[in-house]
């Protein structure tokens, strides 16, 4: 009786100690769920993957995405009584002890899948003490987790050679596929690899890998999981000896999204893989023969979701590892539309108002036009359309630099404003005298597309659009859009009203001081695109302007974007052609003005009656009579052929219109310059 009492108390003390230890020393489950981050596109297609902190590829094993034949084979080979024990299999322990006693050494292991998981989470030397600790940990895991959770974690942490852990990572690295559908030979090799991960790696030791695979196939035959014919066919398969890399598409955007979201596992980004691929291809082609780099952002206006992000054309480009969409650069003239927009809102001017374009000094600051030419009184829409510098500074002076700065800040833009000794250099903001990120510029231009409301960019597919900030009134945004749509098409690109599958783009270019940054920012009803080109180190690129370098890429990007509601851009434009006013005729049959094109700059040698004149041409569906007007004044045909020749009286901005006999009209804003 006394012995029984002693045994009882000993048992209670041991059990109590184990219970206390279970509470005080829990298993490291936080480490168990530390897996690689996967960034997918909006449809779940993998874009980029990231290793865990120790540099290992460890992808979460989702049981509903794993071939059930694999899990059945793993249990049959590694732990037959997995569903019947509580972490430690007593029968396996007895078998191992008996073999040890007979052979004098351990020839049969007793580790369950749960014990192997415990060893994976806390690696230790293979000693008896370690076995005891692993057994205790296994019981702890069984108390806390279901069998499915344990199996999932085991298949997440199992080593497969090198820095590869887990079945999902292994199937990608060795087979370039997911673990949903595997061959018998692939299943056998994936079971054999963890038993000796380094010596059986198929990318280094293909013969060892094949031999181990065949041994497992024989075991699966003996367990009744596959037939003899399946074994024969599986052994004839060649073991893949090539290791595949994880995709690194949109790697800069993926890194930003990973750091922003700050969570492990799968992150569904807002990026569209197809759009991303097409725009990246354009960026690579664009920089092939240049010593510079490029950044592109594509925003879906309605949702503000980033559908494509090119922070760099490639790691081989200058500064190729830097995300240039997140770098502070001078925006050049790209902020001019907002200066005039604020002036419209404040009642200071309107698109048709006159503004002076002449040398003007503002204290110690005297801006100059890009080509050092001045045109006297011009209308605001002409000043913006031709990006004249002095009128923009005049407009900013009226709006106020503090008001301009505050409005941009409230939109979410992070401005870097250089210090000014006399307090007057703030007017240089009109010409790019501040620092701004591509991402912030995209927010501003998307605001123009969204009736003047600025809203944050959305980087994940489940992200929701916020309340935003009304940076401009809807009316002013529409006026600015109308002006920007008149901008001339870049060289080498057909005007949108002549080209099928082309977008009606409202856009503005910009060039920073010293040609360091070239910009083009534009938008349609559906998309906003911002393009930056330059060198990340800020080196000068003589002659590289926004119009000459960034605008062509901007138009190429738009040409690769889907249109609204499946309707081609050409069909959308044909219903409301740019610059057409219908006075009762057939609007779809309106004449197309070929020369001079809208937004063009034409140099002439002389003016008035001494001028040779400009022959005006247009295309119509039928041979019908056309009437030509300049600033509302009708021109008479001068040639018997019926062609009309215009002899400008002086340099300046003019509106040229052509009207057919049905009353349909098309107009173009043209700048006439004197040959120097």
Phi-psi region of 596 (alpha: psi -120 to 50; beta: other; left: phi over 0): beta
Mean pLDDT of 599-612: 77
- Give the strands of the sheet with 37-40, arranged side by side: 46-50, 37-40, 265-268
Q: What's the confidence (pLDDT) of residue 97?
A: 56
pLDDT digits (tens, 9 = 90+) for 515-542: 999 999 999 999 999 999 999 998 988 8
State residue 423's pLDDT score. 42
Catalytic residue among 48, 333, 349, 413: 333
43: Cβ contacts below 8 Å, ≥ 6 apart: 272, 273
The one-character DSSP state at 237 is S
Which is the catalytic residue, given 78, 300, 382, 461?
Answer: 78
The C-alpha angle 45, 50, 51, rounded to 5 degrees, equals 135
Q: Report helix, strand or coil for 105.
A: coil
Across residues 187-205, what is the average pLDDT?
Answer: 93
Residue 672 pLDDT > 60: yes
Per-domain residue ranges for the chain?
325-573, 579-674
Whether residue 374 is predicted with pLDDT greater than 70 in this model: the reply is: yes
- For residue 455, the tally of other CB atoms under 10 A from its CB is 21
Q: pLDDT by residue (tens digit) across 265-324?
A: 899 999 999 999 999 999 999 998 888 999 999 999 999 999 999 999 988 888 889 999
Task: Check residues 475 and 657 and name the one with the higher pLDDT.
Answer: 475
Res 575 pLDDT > 90: no
Q: pTM to 2 decimals? A: 0.77
Confidence of residue 17 (pLDDT cuts 50, 70, 90): low
pLDDT of residue 102: 58
If one compares 234 and 584, the residue with the highest pLDDT of the two is 234
Q: Is the pLDDT of residue 639 over 60?
A: no
| Residue 340, H or E segment | helix 336-345
Span 136-162, average pLDDT: 90
Q: Is the pLDDT of residue 93 over 80?
A: no
- Most confident stretch, 88-97, 259-268, 419-428: 259-268
In the annotation, is 333 catalytic? yes
Confidence of residue 587 (pLDDT cuts 50, 70, 90): very low
Please state, in angstroms and rounded to a whole number, the distance separating the CA atoms of residues 600 and 374. Answer: 17
Q: Is 368 a catalytic residue?
A: no
Residue carrying the six token digits 């001045």: 374
User: Is residue 23 very low, low, confident or very high in pLDDT (cuts 50, 70, 90)?
Assistant: low
Q: What is the DSSP string of 36-92?
A: -EEEE-TTS-EEEEE--TTS-EE----GGGS-HHHHHHHHHHH-TTTTTSSSS-HHH
Predicted confidence band of residue 107 (pLDDT cuts 50, 70, 90): very low
Instruction: Give the list of residues 6+ apart from residue 24 with CB closer than 8 angstroms, or none.
Output: none
Q: What is the pLDDT of residue 346?
A: 93
Q: Check for a shared fold between 325-573 and 579-674.
A: no
| Structure tokens, 106 | 């351990």
pLDDT for res 101: 54
Percent of the chain with pLDDT over 70: 85
Q: Hey, what CATH topology would domain 325-573 get?
A: Beta-lactamase (3.40.710)
Burial of 58 (0-12, 13-18, 19+ CB in 10 A): buried
CATH 2.60.40.10 fits 579-674, yes or no: yes
Kindly state the average pLDDT of the residues 373-385.
88
Ranked by mean pLDDT, the top range of 393-407, 414-428, 630-644 is 393-407
Quick one: tokens of 265?
A: 């596992």
Given a contact cutoff of 8 angstroms between Cβ atoms, the answer to whether 417 and 394 are in contact is: no
Sequence-ordered list of residues with C-beta below 8 angstroms from that of 670, at least 6 positions apart, any chain: 596, 598, 599, 600, 601, 602, 653, 654, 655, 656
Provide the terminal-to-terminal Cα distance of the chain, rounded to the nearest Å: 121
pLDDT value, residue 664: 78
The alpha carbon of residue 564 and the mean position of all alpha carbons in its chain are separated, in whole angstroms, by 20
> If you search the block for the tokens 């370690």, which residue do you land on?
130
Confidence of residue 124 (pLDDT cuts 50, 70, 90): confident
């Amino acid at each position: 009786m006394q012995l029984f009492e002693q045994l009882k108390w000993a048992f209670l003390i041991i059990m109590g100690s184990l219970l206390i230890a279970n509470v005080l020393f829990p298993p490291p489950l936080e480490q168990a769920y530390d897996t690689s981050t996967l960034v997918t596109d909006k449809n779940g297609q993998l874009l980029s993957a990231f290793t865990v902190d120790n540099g290992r590829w460890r992808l979460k094993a989702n049981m509903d995405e794993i071939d059930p034949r694999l899990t059945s084979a793993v249990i049959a080979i590694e732990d037959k009584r997995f569903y019947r024990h509580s972490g430690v299999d007593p029968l396996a322990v007895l078998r191992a002890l008996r073999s040890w006693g007979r052979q004098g050494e351990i020839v049969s292991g007793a580790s369950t899948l749960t014990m192997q998981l415990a060893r994976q989470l806390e690696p230790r030397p293979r000693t008896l003490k370690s076995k005891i600790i692993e057994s205790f940990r296994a019981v702890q895991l069984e108390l806390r987790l279901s069998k499915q959770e344990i199996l999932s974690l085991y298949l997440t942490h199992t080593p497969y050679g090198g820095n590869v852990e887990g079945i999902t990572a292994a199937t990608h690295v060795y087979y370039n596929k997911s673990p949903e559908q595997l061959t018998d030979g692939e299943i056998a090799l994936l079971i054999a690899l963890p038993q000796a991960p380094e010596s059986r790696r198929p990318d280094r030791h293909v013969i060892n890998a094949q031999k181990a695979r065949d041994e497992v196939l024989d075991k699966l035959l003996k367990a009744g999981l596959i037939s003899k014919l399946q074994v024969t066919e599986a052994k004839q398969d060649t073991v893949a000896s090539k290791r595949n890399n994880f995709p690194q598409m949109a790697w800069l955007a993926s890194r930003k999204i990973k750091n922003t979201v700050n969570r492990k596992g799968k992150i569904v980004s807002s990026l569209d893989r197809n759009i991303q691929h097409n725009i990246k291809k354009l960026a690579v082609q664009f920089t092939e023969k240049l010593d510079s780099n490029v950044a592109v952002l594509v925003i879906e206006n309605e949702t503000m979701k980033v559908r494509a992000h090119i922070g760099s054309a490639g790691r081989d480009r200058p500064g190729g590892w830097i995300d240039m969409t997140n770098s502070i650069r001078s925006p050049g003239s790209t902020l001019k539309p907002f200066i005039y927009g604020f002036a419209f809102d404040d009642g200071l001017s309107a698109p048709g108002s006159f503004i002076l374009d002449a040398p003007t000094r503002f204290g110690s600051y005297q801006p100059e036009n890009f080509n050092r030419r001045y045109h006297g009184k011009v209308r605001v829409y002409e000043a913006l359309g031709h990006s004249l510098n002095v009128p923009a500074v005049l407009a900013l002076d009226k709006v106020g630099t503090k008001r301009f700065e505050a409005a941009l800040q409230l939109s979410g833009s992070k401005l870097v404003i250089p210090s000014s000794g006399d307090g007057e250099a703030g007017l240089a903001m009109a010409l790019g005298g501040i620092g701004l990120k591509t991402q912030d510029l995209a927010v501003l231009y998307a605001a123009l597309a969204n009736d003047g409301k600025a809203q944050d960019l959305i980087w994940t597919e489940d992200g929701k659009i916020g309340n935003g900030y009304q940076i401009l009134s809807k009316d002013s945004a529409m006026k600015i859009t109308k002006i920007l749509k008149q901008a001339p098409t870049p060289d080498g690109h057909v005007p949108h009203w002549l080209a099928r599958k082309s977008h009606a783009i409202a856009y503005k270019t910009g060039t920073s001081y010293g040609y360091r940054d070239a910009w083009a920012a534009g938008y349609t009803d559906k998309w906003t695109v911002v393009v930056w080109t330059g060198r990340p180190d800020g080196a000068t690129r003589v002659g590289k302007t926004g119009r000459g370098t960034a605008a062509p890429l901007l138009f190429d990007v738009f040409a690769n974007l889907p249109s609204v509601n499946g309707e081609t851009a050409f069909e959308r434009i044909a219903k409301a052609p740019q610059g057409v006013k219908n006075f009762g005729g057939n609007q779809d049959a309106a004449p197309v003005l070929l020369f001079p094109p809208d937004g063009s700059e034409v140099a002439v040698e002389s003016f008035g009656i001494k001028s040779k004149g400009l022959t005006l041409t247009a295309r119509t569906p039928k041979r019908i009579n056309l009437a030509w007007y300049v600033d509302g004044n009708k021109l008479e045909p001068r040639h018997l052929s019926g062609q009309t020749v215009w002899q400008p009286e002086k340099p300046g901005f003019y509106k040229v219109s052509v009207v057919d006999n049905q009353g349909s009209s098309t107009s173009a804003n043209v700048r006439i310059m004197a040959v120097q």
